A = this chain, B = another copy of it.
Amino acid sequence: MSLKRYLPILDWGARYDRDTATSDAVAAVIVTIMLIPQSLAYAMLAGLPPEVGLYASIAPLILYAVFGTSRALAVGPVAVVSLMTAAAVGQVAAQGTPEYWAAAIALALMSGLMLTAMGLLRLGFMANFLSHPVISGFITASGIIIAASQLKHILGVKAGGHNLAEVLASLAQTIGDANPITAVIGVSVAAFLFWARKRLKPLLIAKGLRPRLADVIAKAGPVMAVAASTLAVWGLGLHERGVAIVGAIPSGLPPLALPSLDPALWSSLAVSALLISVVGFVESVSVAQTLAAKRRQRIAPDQELIGLGAANIGAAFTGGFPVTGGFARSVVNFDAGAETPAAGAFTAVGILLAALLLTPLLYFLPVATLAATIIVAVLSLVDLGSLRRTWAYSRPDFAAQLATIALTLGFGVEAGILAGVGLSIFLHLYTSSRPHVAVLGLVPGSEHFRNIRRHDVVTAPHVLMMRIDESLYFANARFLEDHVADAVAADPALRHVVLMCSAVNEIDASALESLEAIDQRLKAAGLRLHLSEVKGPVMDRLKRTDFLDHLSGDVFLTQYDAFHALAPAIADAARRAERRDTARPPAQAAQ
């Protein structure tokens, strides 16, 4: 039971048969065709030699197949994590040096260990601190930065920068050196890929192909672009006219090597590794969850952490760089019929064959083609409409999303995501630090209490009834003190304050002290504090303290009990009155 939990392969592997294998193998062929150019391109995006992309697409896939729980997740290099890798490693080593590659490997190992540890310690909830608007804003901004950073390859110039301003400034400085042939290749490939993505499949179906085959061919667009542009460079000798090419890619098995354990390197990469781990996990788990639900399957988030952790540790020991589950590839894998994680292992075999046999064919592959592949892939991640939707629904979420986008574009990926997380948490605390508090009255002819601003209800001059629509904890404890003090100071006729606690899910130690302070201050001023409708778990904890012994008033089971006890004549009369619609026109119900 426990072994199956940590080795999901024991579960699905026991029922594995020839039919499943066929489905998985078909999916694997399609994903392999898609992954070859992607793995080269994302290695380039990460600032690494192209073969590193292939290495990162072999061992990680096999390890995920053993430890992962998603039937359809396609693990490997992805755009956003590659960008984050480049940003992190670029701070400790120069691109093109052996130290740079070593740092990327160390980053994969750290990320793998962190993910595994989070999985074993069941810390998957840490991913929750990335709110949806923040992650969506971060991915949009990363997509823009990535696309901008690839323009230099499309133009054939040497430009740099890790944030949008740097990239654009560097491009503007160097655009005079642009290589026209490179630009023609880059722009044509990009145009072809955009066209293939939208139009190729319908066209092929219209030409009489079966939809399944048309889909596979359309997905192979990047491979066609790679083949055509490589042939063009080779045939026309364009590399002698300034077109940058991939050049010699060493063929062979991935190198088995121990990653660097240098403490200085590890400490300077630690924050980056944590961010890469969390971002990679969040992206991966949401794809996995969506695909699993379509077939009424379940994934285990904590085991997913272990699966992704194993994949990254595998990447580190075979010369790779950080990987995670990719969105587009996983959807393709799912649509192509992958039934078990074995599809990933078959894909790894395909990439292994490519690493052994195909690399000489990629010598003349223009870098501009890979850049165009990246641009077309990442622009689909850019979702500026999300900003509009978030604005319409929630201002605090919008603020966090906008800050994430602005800071990611302006100061780079790590600043952006940290600011987004910090701002989400801050705004959540801020919002719940000023909870909605309704002053209540009795709806005539009932035992229901409603906001006096929204309804025409019955109140008693000496009883103040308030409902707090929030758990009471440190961030709003002082607010409650202020609120009660203001209300009491404003009305000298008051003798009783009743706090209706139906929406109070928790009272922490700070709020308990605040309640004690409120009670003592009310008592000193000749008033009594009562509670009503306290939830079971909250009451259980209050009973463990001496708060209820000292409380100047009582705890009532229902708000009506409280009102009836403190103002019996008014309560009785109101309850016996005829029931009617008490809602006030919206203009009056200001709050």
Chain A positions near chain B (C-beta within 8 angstroms): 125, 127-134, 285, 289-290, 293-294, 296, 298, 301, 389-390, 392-394, 396-397, 424-425, 428-436, 451, 454, 469-471, 473-479, 481-482, 485-486, 489, 502-503, 505-506, 508-510, 512-514, 517, 520-521, 524-525, 535-537, 541, 544-545
Contact = CB atoms under 8 A, between A and B. Distances in A.
Contact of A509 (B133, B471, B473): B133
Copies of this chain held together in the complex: 2
Given A293-B525, A432-B506, 16 more contacts: A125-B433, A125-B434, A125-B475, A125-B478, A129-B474, A131-B509, A132-B474, A132-B510, A289-B517, A294-B521, A298-B485, A301-B478, A393-B509, A436-B505, A436-B537, A503-B505
Contacts of A513: 132
B129 A475 contact: yes
A285 B517 CA distance: 13
Contacts of A471: 432, 470-471
A518 to B, nearest CB: 9
Which 4 pairs between the two chains have the least Cβ-Cβ distance? A131-B474, A293-B521, A397-B509, A132-B510
Contact of A544 (B392, B434, B435, B506): B392
Contacts of A429: 128-129, 425, 428
A509 B131 CA distance: 8
A375 to B, nearest CB: 27
27 contacts: A125-B434, A127-B478, A128-B429, A129-B475, A132-B474, A133-B510, A290-B517, A290-B521, A293-B517, A293-B521, A294-B524, A296-B525, A298-B486, A301-B478, A389-B545, A396-B508, A397-B508, A397-B509, A431-B506, A435-B505, A436-B505, A436-B537, A454-B536, A469-B535, A469-B537, A503-B503, A503-B505
Contact of A470 (B505, B512, B517): B505
A544 B389 CA distance: 10
Contacts of A433: 125, 128
B397 A428 contact: no
Nearest to A301: B482
A129 B474 CA distance: 7
A140 B489 CA distance: 33
Contacts of A509: 131-133, 389-390, 393-394, 397
A362 B503 CA distance: 60
Contacts of A470: 471, 505
A537 B424 CA distance: 21
A525 B588 CA distance: 45
Contacts of A430: 125
Contacts of A485: 289, 293, 298
Contacts of A394: 508-509, 541
B425 A393 contact: no
Contacts of A475: 125, 128-129, 428
B541 A393 contact: yes
Nearest to A521: B293
Contact of A392 (B133, B294, B545): B545
A133 B473 CA distance: 11
B544 A474 contact: no
Contacts of A131: 473-474, 477, 508-510
A132 B436 contact: no
A16 B477 CA distance: 35
A294 B522 CA distance: 9
Contacts of A129: 429, 474-475
A540 to B, nearest CB: 10
Contacts of A545: 389, 392-393
Contacts of A478: 125, 127-128, 285, 301
Contacts of A512: 393
A431 B497 CA distance: 29
A517 B381 CA distance: 19
Contact of A397 (B296, B432, B510): B510
A205 B435 CA distance: 50
Nearest to A541: B393
A320 B558 CA distance: 56
A403 to B, nearest CB: 14
A519 to B, nearest CB: 11
Given A129-B474, A428-B474, A429-B425, A489 B296 contact: yes
In this complex, the member of A285, A477, A513 whose beta carbon has the largest number of chain B beta carbons within 10 angstroms is: A513
Nearest to A591: B537
Contacts of A393: 509, 512, 541, 544-545
Contacts of A389: 509, 545
A527 to B, nearest CB: 10
Contacts of A128: 429, 433, 474-479
Residue among A392, A393, A425, A434 with the highest chain B CB neighbour number at 10 A? A393
A473 to B, nearest CB: 6
A50 B194 CA distance: 76
A451 B428 CA distance: 29
